[in-house]
Amino acid sequence: MKRPISQNQDRPISLKTLAEHLGLSPATVSLVVNNAPGAKSIALKTRERVLAAAKKFEYKPNFLARSLRTRQTFTIGVIVPEFSEGYFTMVMNGVEEHLLQTGYLHLVVSHQGRPDLIDEYPRLLTERAVDGFLLVNTLLRAPLDVPVVSISGHKKMRGVCNAMLDHDHSAQLALQHLYDLGHRDIAFMKGQPHALDSESRWQSILQFAEKIGIRIRPELCVHIRTNSWSPELGYPVVRDLLASRRDFTAIFCFNDIAAIGAIRAIVDAGLRCPQDISVVGFDDISSAAYHTPSLTTIRQPLRRMGEMAAQLLVKRIQHPHEPYPDTIMFEPELMIRESTGLVRQQRKSTRQKPPVE
């Protein structure tokens, strides 16, 4: 019953063709090549024959056809605010590592903080039948009907697991460190409005500041304005702050990138970091340790966060009905480097002077 197969056809061999060649039905071949539960009722000899032929003709099941039938694409959608340096790349390294181990690929889109895209992309990806979503620093407005894991999402949504940093602890580490160095007049840089971490971290800061008796002065609190993801983040706000007043000895930046911009602004204002102003960053991106001065910063285990989030997502996809935690908390770590130092008496005295106008 064997019919010769021309191996040099342009398209890869299909299940049907292979079955014909073997004198079996597609059903049988399908069972065998998938090693499906039903395959154990196929004679061992037949199984071997099928597998040998599949190998010989390099049979690869068509992904689309299979996905169409099984409603699984082994693809997840990743939604991020932007392809930023530091944060994004570190998280994605972790995500990719885990996904590829488990046979998933991912489609990435960046919404740039634009509400229209935040609504549009989930639709687009749902159309593509992704098996699940990984949200990075992104808050969706409508629920999705596949598993979702969110990194730094902060808002609780039904069915969405959230992997996040312990912000209370972060605030504590940073503030206590500055406090111990003698800083009492601290400026704070908050994130962009759409940076989800920002508000929650800010609350933690307020709380801990009160606890150890650091007074938070509104005039020393600035917001990142630009939407770009470069040291531009921090530069203009700190430059402007320094132009109007110098009655602070330290600044706690929203992230390392902004901290680099802040340091530049400090230098450009003729001051020195840390001698005149100490700077604390956030994230511990890879260049933080190599910057001059190297950055004292709160490290987020970003790679690990990506990895764990991906792991949880895949589990939820594969076993949807088991119970899952709705939060995974990660612990920050204080990396003490050169950008923070003891308050100098000399600088402290500045505090007494009226702000530069």
Partner DNA sequence: CTGAGTTGTGAAGCCGTATGAAAAATATAA
Partner DNA sequence: TTATATTTTTCATACGGCTTCACAACTCAG
DSSP per residue, 253-309? -SSHHHHHHHHHHHHHTT--TTTT-EEEEEE--TTTTTSSSPPEEEE--HHHHHHHH
301 is an interface residue for its own copies by CB under 8 A: no
The residue within the footprint of its own copies, chosen from 168, 232, 247, 333 (CB under 8 A), is: 232
Contact between 65 and its own copies by CB under 8 A: the answer reads yes
Query: Taking CB within 5 to 8 Å according to partner kind, which of its own copies, DNA, none is near residue 162?
Result: none
Task: Give dist(CA 332, CA 327) in Å, integer.
Answer: 16
Range in contact with its own copies (rule: CB under 8 A) among 37-45, 122-130, 169-177, 316-324: 122-130
β-bridge pairing 327-330 and 296-299: unpaired
Q: Is residue 229 a contact residue for its own copies (CB under 8 A)?
A: yes
* 68 contributes a contact to its own copies by CB under 8 A: yes
Is 146 an interacting residue with respect to DNA (CB under 7 A)? no
Sole window of 25-33, 81-89, 198-206, 209-217 interacting with its own copies (rule: CB under 8 A): 81-89
Residue 204 beta carbon to its own copies: minimum distance, rounded to whole angstroms: 27
Concatenated DSSP letters of 32-69: HHTT-GGGGGS-HHHHHHHHHHHHHTT----HHHHHHH
What mask, x for binding DNA by CB under 7 A, covers residues 227 to 266?
----------------------------------------
Short-list 175, 160, 354, 126, CA closest to 282: 175
Pairing of strands 333-335, 296-299: antiparallel
Q: Which two tokens stand for residue 282?
A: 């956030």
Shortest Å distance, C-beta 142 to DNA = 21
Measured CA angle at 111 (ends 83, 75), to 5 deg: 80
Give min distance, CB of 120 to DNA, in A. Answer: 20
What is the binding site for DNA (CB under 7 A)?
11-12, 14-16, 23-28, 30-31, 33-34, 36, 38, 41-43, 46, 59-62, 65-66, 68-70
